[in-house]
Amino acid sequence: MPTYSYRCTECGNAFDIKQSFSDATLTECPVCGGVLRKVFSPVGVTFNGGGFYRTDSRATPKAEGSSSSGSSGSSSPAPAPAKTESKPSTPKPSTSAS
């Protein structure tokens, strides 16, 4: 249930009360019978850390030993290693000396 703050416009009495969304707004001060007004205050939201904009969809960091000097973030891909084809070995006929 949300907590609402009220302040009397005549005596200055201020208090907080838990009310359901469907409850009627209080209009009469319990101390002097004066008119009550709701007190609005900023919402207590705290953003911790460096910020979501820095970490969302961020590219993975490059290795520190990379030799790319471009600052645009796009670099040519590294050359693929050369492929060596291995030939199937054929069994050599055995030589037996009889």
Write down the pLDDT at residue 22.
Answer: 93
Write down the pLDDT at residue 36.
Answer: 95
Write down the pLDDT at residue 96.
Answer: 62
Tokens of 64: 């520190």
Write down the pLDDT at residue 69.
Answer: 52
What type of residue sits at position 98? Answer: S
- How many C-beta atoms lie closer than 10 Å to residue 26's C-beta? 15
Encode pLDDT of 28-83 as tens digits: 999 999 999 999 988 777 777 666 665 566 566 676 665 555 555 555 566 666 66
13 pLDDT tier (thresholds 50, 70, 90): very high
Rounded mean pLDDT of 7-21? Answer: 93
What type of residue sits at position 54? Answer: R
